Structure 1
Amino acid sequence: MKIGLVGCGRISKTHLEAIKKLSNANIAGCCDIVEDRAKSTAEKYNIPYWTTKYQELLKEKDIDLISICTPSGLHPEHGIMAANHGKHVLTEKPMGVRLIDADKLITACEENGVKLFVVLQNRLNPSIQMVKNAIDKGRFGKVFMIVANVFWTRPQEYYDLAAWRGTWALDGGAFCNQASHYVDLVQWFGGPVKSVMASTATLARDIEAEDTGAAIINFHSGCIATINVTMLTYPKNLEGSITIIGEKGTVRVGGIAVNEILHWQFQDYDEVDRIVNNVSTIPDSVYGFGHMAYYQNVINSIINGENPLIDGLAGRKSLELIESIYLSNRQQRVVIL
């Protein structure tokens, strides 16, 4: 699999390191509008071709898949351009900052006969897989409540590193950027969302979007979820956790990348309960270890027709919820999905 990567910033390293470990894929080209960044990335990872012009990267005929690591607001535009050149599309989370743009990307991929993938790698964490399997097997019985807490810190210096950070057009706020994985997992665990009520605020950072907020989500199943997010935790990241409370079980997953099972208790025993203490991982960042396994699934999906773990429609669900959170805050009302 020949991969072209656009956007050689912060997250690209995670992609490049993951691809480097795969025996059936390599980076054929990279692109960034900052020449030094594109050139140094190519040199570091032995990438044969680099450019500052995205259109030139798309003209490379041997590239099968474009990995989009640009600011979130540009993901749909860059994905549509790739699809129009017959390239499969992989986009970092979220797949956009507006649902209308994400839908255009989905349509473009369908019309061009290419596949669309959205990187939500935390779904692949062993701890998260165990939780989802327990939900699917009915071990919780009726799920009453899901609570996600993202108590992190992002200083002003973080936002000042790039002009697009914290803007509505290209980034969104704490829900759309930093907490988007948690929004995705909450709706993945809870099922179809009925409504959401939210309040967000920009309390301490000089940005357009929110640095703090809370959302109350009602699912069609009757389950209630809350997502509490702030980038103002003193003096460093404190917690990233998800708790699921059901009639027959309670589970809490934490760690820096929801990689550690903190509490696991069910009414009925299952063989997997024996390995609960063995599935926790120790990642070195909030990105976790899921990118490599995600890329392998993407490659298998393109080459062998394997079902994609997270395609465009799956990625759309969390973006719809994020957009509804923002709409609820602006209009101070319950939003029905």
Structure 2
Amino acid sequence: MNFAIVGCGFIAKKHAAAITSIPAAKLTAVCDQVESAMAPYVEQYGAAPYTDLSEMLEDNAVDAVCICAPSGFHAPIAEQVAAARKHIVLEKPIAMNLEESDRIIQAAEKNNVKLTVVHPNRFRPVVMELRKIIDKGMLGKISHASAKVNWNRNQEYYDQAPWRGTKQYDGGVLMNQAIHNLDLLLWFMGQPEQIFSMEATRLRDIEAEDVSAGVIRFESGALGIVEASTTVYPSNFEESITIFGEKGTVKIGGTNALYFEYLNIDGMPETEAETIFEKVKADPWGITGHKQIILDIIEAVKDNRKPLVTGEDGKRALELVLAFYQSAEYNTPINMYKEVLV
């Protein structure tokens, strides 16, 4: 399968590395309005450079397009890619609002192309092990869960481009950093029913939030606690998800939520828990998430099935972020799927 990349900023490097590490994939083209940004991909991978998206999409050799442009531009680019009958690998968040996310999903359906949103943390070995534990019902009835992302993004990070930290094109810590953790929380805990959140911009000179704290009531009745920030000094401190059930407590953590920090389940022998600990510790990253996403869309096209992470999955994570934003703006609880989220 031949891939192209639109938007040759930082995240595009991960897509290029993933594509070129797969024998069944090839990076054939890149597109960016800044010609110098494309130079590394031309020199290292032999990709054809385009400054005009329409011209690139006329290339019949391109089968799929990785959209790595700023989030506020996702919808018009994705619609154009879908209309050209190219499959879509879309960086998170799927879009900046629900109207745009619906346009993207509908464009993919209308043109019969596959759409996947990049939520790569689902493919981490520790996350897949926790998912197995939940699917087997080993934790019993869930009481509550917590998700934390306390990282550092200094002012230089936001000053790299004028769109960073803006509400229109980028968003804050929830939309950018914590959205992966929120995606996992939804994957583990199910649909949220009610949200209450507070946000602030404490240390960074940006339009959006750099710290957020919120609570969720899920449809199951379980509660969730979310804490996110980019204000931590001097570097990334933690990313974790902890789930408390009547028959067990599990925490995955570290600076990037790569390891089991706690695993205690009723009836699970200590030797079995230790085996799981060591298995994850031996290869915490596994096959990188971006590579898994690329491999999956190739297989999804081949088998004519939905990708493992769908456009609807991307929309659900976006809905949760927007509910947090709306709750904070109006200082009131938000009833999911009953309130008007935009």
Q: Is the 8 A contact 2:124 2:285 kept in 1?
A: no
Equivalent position of 1:46 in the other structure:
46
Where in structure 2 are the equivalents of 1:9-20 lying within 5 Å?
9-20=9-20
- Distance in 1 (CA, whole Å) between partners of 2:333 and 2:315 is 20
Q: What is the aligned partner in structure 2 of residue 4 from structure 1? A: 4
Higher deviation after alignment, 114-123 or 51-60: 51-60
Superposed displacement of residue 282, structure 1: 4.7
The count of aligned residue pairs is 333
- State how far apart, in whole Å, the 2-side matches of 1:38 and 1:168 are: 27
Q: What is residue 182 of structure 2 aligned with on the other side?
A: 183
CA-CA distance at 1:255 after TM superposition: 2.6
* Secondary structure of the structure 2 residue equivalent to 1:242: strand
Report matched runs for 1:145-164 at 5 Å.
Answer: 145-164=144-163
- Report if the CA contact (8 A) 1:122-1:257 is conserved: no
Looking at structure 1, the residues matched to 306 and 66 of structure 2 have their Cα atoms a distance apart, in angstroms, of: 19
The correspondence of residues 203-282 of structure 1 with structure 2, limited to 5 A, is: 203-269=202-268, 273=273, 274-280=275-281, 281-282=283-284
Q: Is the 8 A contact 1:257 1:283 kept in 2?
A: no
Unpaired runs of 5+ residues, structure 2, are 337-342
Q: Give yes or no for contact 2:79–2:104 (8 Å, CA) kept in 1.
A: yes
Cα-Cα RMSD: 1.6
SS at match of 1:195: strand
The secondary structure found in structure 2 opposite 1:279 is helix
Per-residue CA deviation, residues 17-39 of structure 1 (Å, 9 max, x unaligned), is 11111010101100111111112
- CA–CA distance in 1 between the matches of 2:40 and 2:239? 33
Deviations 1:113-137 (A, max 9, x none): 1111001110011100111111111
* C-alpha separation in 2, matches of 1:42 and 1:223: 50
d(CA) in 1 for partners of 2:240, 2:325 = 22
Deviation digits for residues 218-238 of structure 1 (CA, Å, limit 9, x no counterpart): 101111001101111111111
Where in structure 2 are the equivalents of 1:287-306 lying within 5 Å?
289-306=288-305
Deviation at 1:109, TM superposition (A): 0.8
Q: Is the 8 A contact 1:261 1:277 kept in 2?
A: no
| 2:202 counterpart SS class | coil
Question: Does the residue aligned with 1:56 lie in a helix, a strand or coil?
Answer: helix
1:58-207 alignment runs, 5 A limit = 58-207=57-206
Deviation of 1:272 after TM superposition, in Å, equals 6.0
Aligned partners of 2:124 and 2:284 also within 8 Å? no
Shift in Å, 1:97:
1.2
Task: Report the alpha carbon displacement of residue 283 of structure 1 after superposing the two structures with TM.
Answer: 5.1
1:9 counterpart letter in structure 2? G
Counterpart-to-counterpart distance in 1, 2:194 and 2:130: 24
* Mean Cα deviation higher: 270-279 or 98-107: 270-279
The match for 2:307 is 308
Stretch deviating more after TM superposition (32-41 or 157-166): 32-41
Letter in 2 for 1:43: E
Partner of 2:21: 21
- TM-score, scaled to structure 1: 0.95
Q: CA deviation at 1:45?
A: 2.1
- Rate the CA distance shift 1:61–1:252 in 2: closer, same or farther, 3 A: same
Q: What do the CA deviations read for 1:112-166 (whole angstroms, capped 9, x no partner)?
A: 1111100111001110011111111111101111111111111111100000100
Report the CA distance between 1:289 and its aligned residue. 2.0
Deviation at 1:248, TM superposition (A): 0.5
Structure 1: gaps of 5 or more residues: none
Distance 1:307 1:84 in 2: 19
Q: Deviations over 1:301-322 (max 9, x none)?
A: 0112244210101111111101
How far residue 56 of structure 1 moved from its aligned partner, in angstroms, is 1.4
Paired amino acid for 2:255 = I
1:221-280 deviation per Cα after TM superposition (whole angstroms, max 9, x unaligned): 111001101111111111111111111011111133321111111002279633332113
Q: Deviations over 1:176-219 (max 9, x none)?
A: 00111011111111101101100001111111100001110110
CA contact (8 A) 1:159 1:165 kept: yes
Distance in 2, matches of 1:36 and 1:109, equals: 31
Task: Quote the residue 1:332 is aligned against.
Answer: 331
SS at match of 2:8: coil
Aligned residue for 2:340?
A: none
Question: In the alignment, is the contact (CA less than 8 A) between 2:126 and 2:284 conserved in 1?
Answer: no
